[in-house]
Amino acid sequence: METIQVRTKEKQDFPEITGAVREKVRNRGWQDGVLFIFVPHTTAGIFINEHADPDVVKDISALADRIIPEEFPCRHTEGNSPAHAKSVLFNNSLYVIIEKGDLVLGTWQGIFLAEFDGPRNREVYLKFMTDGG
């Protein structure tokens, strides 16, 4: 298993990690299989979406706040339950197919960490399973 370190910079921050993931895949020589990408945090998530225009993830961030407003009354005394709920909605894991040593992604797709309770130091786990192809 490999780990990527990500420093998030704001309360809500969606840094792209496609390059860091691709670098690990190349360094390890992973060829053909499936790469599992898992976030071990409960107020962060991970998603795939457009990385060409950075305004897209800004809009997604604004929509996340519309769906789950920060001012929602919490029982949890830390008061960050909106961040926990966003983590559930965005999901804390995904996978990417690997072929010929590279990520199989659509033209517009990039991988983003979703920070909902930053800024913090976050970790992303990478686990590769090969089919021997």
4 or 105: whose CB is closer to a copy of itself? 105
27 or 66: whose CB is closer to a copy of itself? 66
Q: Indicate the burial class of 43 (C-beta count within 10 angstroms; 0-12, 13-18, 19 or more).
A: buried
Write down the H helix ranges in the chain: 18-28, 55-67, 81-90
CB atoms within 10 A of CB 46: 22
Q: Quick check: 80 and 44 in contact, CB under 8 A? A: no
Return the residues of window 34-93 that contact a copy of itself according to CB under 8 A.
34, 36, 38, 40-42, 47-50, 53, 55-56, 58-60, 62-64, 66-68, 72, 74-78, 81-82, 84-85, 87-93
Contact positions toward a copy of itself, by CB under 8 A?
1, 33-34, 36, 38, 40-42, 47-50, 53, 55-56, 58-60, 62-64, 66-68, 72, 74-78, 81-82, 84-85, 87-97, 99, 104-109, 125, 127-131
